[in-house]
Amino acid sequence: MIKRCLVLSLLAASGLAQAQFYGHQAPTNHVAKEVAAEQDAEEAPVALPLPPVETALIPFFVSAASPHKFLIDGNSLAIEQEGVIRYTLVILTASGAQNISHEGIRCSTAERRTYAFGKSNGEWTRARSAEWLKIREAQVNRQHAALYQEYFCPGGVIVSSIDEARRLLRTGGDKVGGTPGR
């Protein structure tokens, strides 16, 4: 067993040395970060929408366990060429607070991103960190999982149009859905 480990270690070191000798870069966290940055660079610049108006808000079901009300501004929906659906999310908490955020979901990777937060005066504040995060299933605050599975990415595939997204929001979505965090 020790011999096998030693041989495997030597082979791995040899491959790394050859890659460096021939000018190939060995995979590192730095390279992974560069690839992620390239993917983000491919995303179209985000123009923030107008503040949500009450008549355009579409409520959607998240969970019976959540005391909050979740709404999407139907006017803010946009499907981008790079396979990202953008939207404004409004959360009305049980205590009466209102949280507004402009976000995106990348269906192909089951990831979400927050671009900006809405202020009470109708202005936007850009998010400090706009990194893509894996969508995870949760008990109560599962709004991103619900949007991914049932409304924007049923079966893990992005909806074909904004009208389809609005229809799914209004009719309760596609209960088959995809699985976030694959």
Q: Using one digit for the tens of pLDDT, what is the confidence trace for 77-123?
A: 999 988 999 999 999 999 999 999 999 999 999 999 999 999 989 99
28 and 60 fall within a common domain: no
Low-confidence spans in the chain with pLDDT less than 50:
1-39, 41, 177, 179, 181-182
Q: What's this model's pTM, rounded to 2 decimal places? A: 0.73
23 and 80 fall within a common domain: no
CA nearest neighbour of 87 among 74, 70, 96, 97: 74
| Dist CA 158 CA 67 (whole Å) | 28
99 and 167 fall within a common domain: yes
Whether 143 is covered by a domain: the verdict is yes
Whether 145 is covered by a domain: the verdict is yes
Note the pLDDT of residue 10: 37
Whether 88 is covered by a domain: the verdict is yes
Residue 108 is part of a domain; what is its CATH number? 2.40.128
21 and 65 fall within a common domain: no
Whether 181 is covered by a domain: the verdict is no
13 and 65 fall within a common domain: no
| Dist CA 145 CA 111 (whole Å) | 10
Full residue range of the structural domain in which residue 22 is found = 2-42
6, 25, 32, 40, 123 from 151: Cα distances, Å: 52, 41, 31, 24, 27
38 and 58 fall within a common domain: no
The total number of structural domains in the chain stands at 2
31 and 60 fall within a common domain: no
130 and 58 fall within a common domain: yes
Note the pLDDT of residue 170: 94
Whether 180 is covered by a domain: the verdict is no
